Structures are given as structure tokens and as C-alpha cells.
Amino acid sequence: MRAGRASSANLGRTRTCPHCKAVILESASVCPQCRHHLKFGAEAAATDGHSGFCALKVEGTLQHKEGRGDWEYSVVLSIRNERGEEVSRQVIGVGALRPAESRTFTLSVDVGTPGSTKR
């Protein structure tokens, strides 16, 4: 295996975070959900995410207007491939808003290259 490149057989492989049980990339040194460190020392340095970047970030606020009753909401994430086929769909969260309440939602897609650490 060349330095800086992971085997294409391992590309996109997942594992379960031992802390929060979220499904995450095997190459992650920090869990994106609970933010616990998963790798330490030289292995973490090889996959510390400094070569990555945020490819997409969208933020919006849902502001409830007074006098319109209570609202309920569902946050749904859908991922499509290059042919427009849905490859994943998940309900991320649900909740309720009373008049004069608001919620801010942020979606970010972080992109990086897997580390060169041998497994």
C-alpha cells in the first residue's frame, strides 16, 4: 500500500462507534456524532482529518409564528447517487414547536481521504 492511500477494498467501510454506537467510517479518528477520539498516537496522526474539508454546509431556522397553533416537525435526510436513485433515507430527528419558538438546523458534509494506516 502506498503512503497516503488506503486500499480501495477498504474505501467506505464502516464500523460502530464504541461510545455512542453510531455507524461511522472505519477511517475516522474522531466520531462525528459523539466527538470521542477513536485512534491515538501515530494512527490518529495519519487520519487526523487535516487533509479533509467541508464540501457542503447548509443552515436554516424554522421560526414558528404566534397564533398558528403548535407544529410538529421531522428532519429527513435523503442521499442520492449520480443517477438520482435514493441510496439512503433516514429520519434524523423529530420534535415540536410552540408559538414563538424556533429551531436551527445545520447540515454539513465533511470529505477527506482515508489514512494510510495498515489494518
CA distance to 8, 42, 59, per residue, from 46 (Å): 17, 6, 31
Mean pLDDT along residues 102-119: 76
CB 43, CB 115: distance < 8 Å = yes
Residue 75 domain-assigned (yes or no): yes
- What is the span of the domain harbouring residue 10? 1-51
- What is the rounded distance in angstroms from the CA atom of residue 77 to the CA atom of residue 93? 10
Pick from 32-41, 65-74, 78-87: least confident:
32-41
Mean pLDDT along residues 4-25: 78
Element (H or E) spanning 80, and its range?
strand 71-80
Decide which of 51, 73, 89 is a domain's last residue: 51
- What is the rounded distance in angstroms from the CA atom of residue 25 to the CA atom of residue 11? 9
Same domain, 78 and 29: no
